[in-house]
Amino acid sequence: MEYTTLGNTGTTVSRLCFGTWRFAKESGGTVETDREEAHDLLDAAWEQGINFIDTANVYGDPNGTSEEWIGEWLADRDIHREDVVIASKVYFPFDGRGEPGPNDSGLGRKHIRAQIEGTLERLGTDYLDVYYIHRWDEDTPIRETMQTLTELVREGKVRYLGASSMAAWKLTKALWTSDVEGLERFDVTQPMVNAAQYDEVGDYLDVCADQDLAVCPYSPLSGGFLTGKYDRAEDGSVEAPDGSRGSLDEMFDDYYATEQAWDVLEAVESVADEVDASPAQVSLRWLMDQDRFTCVPIVGARTPEQLEENVGAVEVDLSDEQFERIDAARGADD
């Protein structure tokens, strides 16, 4: 495993982060990753050298189950808390206490205060390394949100602040507010970024580069599209394996399998052949090799075998020409 400093912080993390979105997640009445499988995956991540774990208060059915399973795993294993970097999130309606009430969502002081206590209890820890706002709250002044998050940092309950998906100008506004008010600012971001959909958050990434914010992208393989397991039929539709996201998600073709995405996949596959790696490994390495900002992709493998393949990305070496070929496929030269 390779390790890197997380943006402008003093914390060192593995070059890949393990995501736990599927823990206890029900799809069609079936739990995608049950408790035993979750612990096996956490074991595999740890054995592969991953020290960075990502979760959220709303992951799992009911909400909070993902955090609970991580907490149980930490308690059951001989792993020192200081050796693990744990990130969680707040914003969405939380149903872990039953039907969400009027103050069980958003980024107001009341909701953030309630959720951080629940998150820490479920994880069995005194602090979070990174606490993300999961989305932007249109109904709460950003000053109140940043003041509340600052209190958590100064109380020792949170080490660093993070922001997930939002418009670039909103991220800029939050950073400006922190600077003007003398508050803690965001150091880590979590947008959806991959080689096929990079340009959709181009302005956001410009802010991250300018402000030296770490980028921990979710969906780094474009919903599995960049693994190379999908084929294109003569009519332009996607031929998807049974049980894959492409076979279950009606929006997959329109959202993931764009013309640009097929061009990027073709470039990724050609590079993969040259470096004797899988398309997934090349796609992850392309993200890790971003030089404008620290990039730590979040991988959400379903099996230890998939996770092992993903970790193999750290062994891949892309030449400048190969990196730029993938860049060009997404129209970067234009």
DSSP notation for 28-44: TTEESB-HHHHHHHHHH
Specify the DSSP element, H or E, that contains 215.
strand 214-215
Query: Structure tokens of 155?
Result: 């109380």
Contact assessment for residue 285 and residue 260, using Cβ atoms and an 8 Å cutoff: no
Tell me which of 59, 132, 198, 256 is the catalytic residue. 59
CA–CA distance, 45 with 50 (Å, rounded to integer): 5
The whole-angstrom distance between residue 156's C-alpha and the CA centroid of its chain comes to: 24
Specify the DSSP element, H or E, that contains 232.
strand 231-232
Amino acid symbol at 239: E
Amino acid symbol at 214: A
Specify the DSSP element, H or E, that contains 278.
none
CA–CA distance, 136 with 116 (Å, rounded to integer): 17
255 catalytically annotated: no
First to last CA, the chain: 35
Which active-site residues does the annotation give?
59
